[in-house]
């Protein structure tokens, strides 16, 4: 439904995005993840035809966004980072204006707008001036605007920004329910949001796509070493010594200030590869008579993956993480 091929966008001398390519299949929800300033908004603006690309091509529903822009834009709904609202119009006037812009036949406008207003719970503000409604409602009017005309492709730039937790939940449910019928690209810098709503994730950093994959694969492929967190009673020096003797333990970090009320100290143990050291740890601690009060292994979360991919230090730190990154890109 959406195909982005080798898109580069320059603003004068600064590069917005560089050689970005990816595809989104029909009915799929793709999450666009990256730190602020990574090029999420630029990419979305290129896809929607707001900024034509410096080089490369974008097709939406089979139409080129530059050469067949009119047809392409007819298939597109876009919620920019700041909802494009006219403060001096009522919600009703605004949505009817958008419907006219989007070439919704006059007879269908009323019914379609009513349906969208119901879905997004905009009823209470329908006749009010946009100037006077809350930020949460504005964001939802922005989303409503993108849905007018029932476009098969939706581009949503940070759709949950500025909403309270309840509204965030509602909007996520709405977006999720739109998947299947609509092809959606959704940008966010909130990881749980993306992993909850999206089937695939593209991570962008410094204008380049660094990974495109399913959320689960993304975290498992990038999982380098495992970590085990333990709270153990006893002399920290002796405990550390015993731990380091266990096969597979790379390092032990001991957090003295985090000693709990039960007098146990907290240890973070980094383990090589995917080895499970918990059994050996139990016997080693039993041998030195240091009781384990808590023991759990920590998987690398999507958050860690994200940080690893988008932080220079992490990428440069070791060959391992760099290799992981290449692997994912190749698999995408």
Instruction: Write out the residues near other proteins by the rule CB under 8 A.
Output: 11-12, 45, 48-52, 69-71, 73-74, 76, 78, 80, 82-89, 93, 97-98, 100-103, 145
| Nearest residue (CB) to other proteins, 88 versus 118 | 88
To other proteins, the closest distance from the beta carbon of 275 in angstroms equals 51
CB-CB neighbours of 257 under 10 Å = 6
Task: Work out how close the CB of 49 gets to other proteins at its nearest, in angstroms, rounded to a whole number.
Answer: 6
For the CB of residue 183, give the shortest distance to other proteins in the complex, in Å: 16
Indicate the residue among 92 and 314 with the shorter CB distance to other proteins: 92
Nearer to other proteins, 93 or 270 (CB): 93
Residue 313: its H or E element: helix 312-317
CA atoms within 13 A on the CB side of 276: 5
Residues belonging to the chain: 332
In the complex, the smallest distance separating the C-beta of residue 52 from other proteins, rounded to whole angstroms, is: 6
Between 76 and 264, CB nearer to other proteins: 76
Nearest approach, Cβ of residue 15 and other proteins (Å): 14
Residue with tokens 């409602």: 137
Residue in this structure with the two tokens 């492709």, named with its chain if needed: 153
Rounded to whole angstroms, how far apart are CA atoms 151 and 136?
23
What are the b/e assignments for 138-170, b being 16+ CB within 10 Å?
bbbbbbbbbbbbebbbbbbbbbbebbeeebbeb
64-70 — which CB contacts under 8 Å span 24+ positions? none
Taking the complex as a whole, how short is the minimal distance between the CB of residue 85 and other proteins, in angstroms?
7
Q: Which residues contact 90 (CB under 8 A, 6 or more apart)?
A: 126, 127, 128, 129, 130
CA distances in angstroms from 31 to 60, 121, 300, listed in the order given:
17, 25, 19
Q: Which is nearer to other proteins, 32 or 78 (CB)?
A: 78
């Amino acid at each position: 439904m959406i195909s982005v091929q080798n898109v580069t966008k320059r603003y004068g001398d600064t590069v917005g995005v560089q050689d970005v390519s990816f595809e989104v299949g029909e009915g799929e929800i793709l999450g666009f993840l990256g730190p602020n300033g990574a090029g999420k908004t630029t990419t979305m603006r290129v896809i929607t035809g707001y900024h034509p690309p410096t080089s490369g091509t974008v097709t939406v529903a089979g139409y080129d966004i530059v050469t067949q822009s009119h047809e392409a834009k007819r298939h597109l709904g876009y919620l920019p980072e700041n909802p494009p609202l006219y403060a001096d119009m009522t919600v009703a006037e605004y949505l009817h204006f958008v419907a006219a812009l989007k070439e919704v036949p006059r007879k269908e406008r009323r019914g379609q707008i009513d349906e969208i207003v119901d879905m997004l719970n905009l009823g209470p503000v329908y006749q009010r001036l946009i100037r006077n409604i809350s930020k949460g409602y504005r964001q939802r009017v922005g989303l409503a605007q993108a849905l007018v005309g029932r476009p098969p492709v939706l581009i949503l730039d940070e759709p949950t920004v500025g909403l309270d937790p309840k509204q965030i939940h509602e909007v996520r449910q709405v977006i999720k329910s739109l998947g299947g019928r609509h092809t959606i690209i959704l940008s966010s810098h909130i990881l749980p949001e993306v992993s909850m709503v999206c089937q695939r994730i593209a991570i962008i950093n410094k204008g380049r796509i660094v990974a495109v994959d399913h959320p689960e694969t993304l975290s498992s492929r990038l999982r380098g070493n495992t970590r085990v967190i333990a709270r153990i009673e006893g002399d920290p020096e002796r405990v550390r010594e015993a731990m380091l003797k266990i096969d597979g333990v790379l390092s032990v970090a001991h957090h003295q200030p985090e000693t709990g009320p039960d007098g146990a100290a907290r240890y973070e143990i980094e383990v090589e590869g995917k080895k499970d050291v918990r059994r050996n740890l139990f016997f080693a601690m039993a041998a030195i008579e240091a009781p384990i009060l808590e023991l759990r292994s920590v998987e690398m979360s999507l958050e860690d993956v994200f940080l690893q991919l988008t932080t220079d230090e992490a990428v440069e730190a070791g060959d391992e993480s760099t290799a992981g990154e290449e692997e994912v890109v190749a698999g995408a």
